Amino acid sequence: MEGLQPLFNIGDFVACDYENVMLFSYNYEEELEDIYYYGIVVYVDKGYFEYMEEYVYEILCLDGVKRYFMESELKRM
Q: According to the model, what pLDDT value does residue 1 have?
A: 46
**CB-based contacts of 59, cutoff 8 Å, min separation 6:** 14, 16, 37, 39, 40, 41, 42, 66, 67, 68, 69, 74
Which is it for the CA torsion 65, 32, 49, 72, positive or negative? Answer: negative
Residue boundaries of the structural domains of the chain: 1-22+34-77
Q: According to the model, what pLDDT value does residue 68 have?
A: 93
pLDDT tens, position by position, 24-76 = 555 555 554 557 899 999 999 988 777 778 899 999 999 999 999 999 899 99
pLDDT tens, position by position, 14-35 = 999 876 554 555 555 555 455 7
In CATH terms, the fold of domain 1-22+34-77 is SH3 type barrels. (2.30.30)
Indicate the burial class of 57 (C-beta count within 10 angstroms; 0-12, 13-18, 19 or more): buried
Euclidean distance between the first and final Cα of the chain, in Å? 27
pTM of the model: 0.76
